[in-house]
Amino acid sequence: MTKKKQTIFSGIQPSGNLTIGNYLGALKNWVELQAQYACLFSLVDLHTITVRQDPKEFYQHCYDVLAIYLAAGLDPEKSAIFLQSHVPAHSQLAWILNCYAYIGELSRMTQFKDKSKKHESNINIGLFAYPTLMAADILLYQTNLVPIGADQKQHLELARDLALRFNNIYGEVFTVPEVYHPPLGARIMSLQEPTKKMSKSDADSNAVIYILDPLDVIANKLKRAVTDSGKDIYFDVANKPGVANLLTILAVVTGKSVDQLVNEMQGQGYGKLKTAVAESLIEFLRPVQERYKQLRADQAYLNGVLKLGAERAIKISQPTLTKVYAVVGFVPTFV
């Protein structure tokens, strides 16, 4: 008897340009997970509008990010790849979970506090209820494992709490998800402030390498990357965060261990380290960028991927939503 694969769900907001942090910390790992797990990878566009978007740019970004997903190696034949807004059950379950989440626990979410400071003129209910929508994203598919960064850990804890709370009332309705801990490279830091995570919304373009940056721009950004005092090359996040970040990037794109790289780079100085990272990263991204250009030009193919992904996601999600509706007492639809 074939053992049923565990389910993994994850998603990225299709806003702005994706960074190498998105790629090395998420997409690269997702590609490797496809063979072992039943995977659903969403472009979480409902989450994106908690911050005001230019509609025309937003529309294009959805296709841009989809093409990056595919160029990175996500396979629509192996994984469900879809826009969150194309699966109505996300919004439907999110409303129900809103009725089981408490104002106090949502008020404690650090990401809500941080984003409220950044967007003081638009502190909306969607931003406040973002974690319940994320919980719906996860619980809808009876997800076993969720690959997330440290900044989303609090949200996953809420999803677990809501699943347990709901199950305690109505029986075993939801799978209680666990964190999937990816290997090295889960957290790529800013090139200018290496104690801070690399972010696509960073105002300093030199702090961020975008997946679609021209290759010469990537080299120049790495030349200007902040390192640390001293000359020795070793991995120490606390005392040498800049060097540790460069070693992490190099390790992920070359497949070598950090220890091996430290041995190879001994006595060569920070300049040589930056050059090694630039050369390896450029060769790593070159085929992705070429594949992206081909995919992005084929709108019909991209629409087909979205259609297939939404159909799969709807099929997988419907039994969960039907069970939730039944246990809370909703009258079944007659349409």
pLDDT tens digit sequence for 242-289: 999 999 999 999 999 999 999 999 888 899 999 999 999 999 999 999
Q: Note if 115 is an active site residue.
A: yes
Is residue 118 pLDDT above 80, yes or no? no
In a domain? residue 191:
no
* Comparison of pLDDT for 187 and 191, the residue scoring more: 191
| Bridge-based pairing state of the strands 38-43 and 7-12 | parallel
In a domain? residue 334:
no
In a domain? residue 33:
yes
Over residues 17-45, the pLDDT tens digits come to 899 999 998 999 999 999 999 999 999 99
Q: Are residues 290 and 305 in the same domain?
A: no
Q: Note if 118 is an active site residue.
A: no
Q: What is the CATH number of the domain that holds 97?
A: 3.40.50.620
Q: Which of 5, 28, 197, 223 is catalytic?
A: 197
Give CA–CA dist 100/94, Å, rounded. Answer: 10
Q: Are residues 81 and 128 in the same domain?
A: yes
Over residues 52-69, the pLDDT tens digits come to 899 999 999 999 999 999
Q: Which of 78, 200, 256, 323 is catalytic?
A: 200
Q: Are residues 42 and 66 in the same domain?
A: yes
Q: Is 170 exposed, middle or buried (0-12, 13-18, 19+ CB in 10 A)?
A: middle
In a domain? residue 189:
no
Query: Does the model's pTM come out above 0.85?
Result: yes
In a domain? residue 197:
no
Is residue 16 pLDDT above 80, yes or no? no
Q: Which of 78, 113, 115, 256 is catalytic?
A: 115
Q: Are residues 55 and 166 in the same domain?
A: yes
The number of distinct structural domains making up the chain is 2
Confidence category of residue 183, pLDDT binned at 50, 70, 90: low
Q: How far is CA 148 from CA 123, 178, 239, in A?
A: 24, 10, 25
Domain coverage including residue 284: 205-294
Is residue 73 pLDDT above 80, yes or no? yes
Over residues 145-180, the pLDDT tens digits come to 999 876 778 889 999 999 999 999 999 999 999 998
In a domain? residue 335:
no
Q: Note if 200 is an active site residue.
A: yes
Question: Which pair of structure tokens corresponds to residue 232?
Answer: 């020795």
pLDDT of residue 195: 92
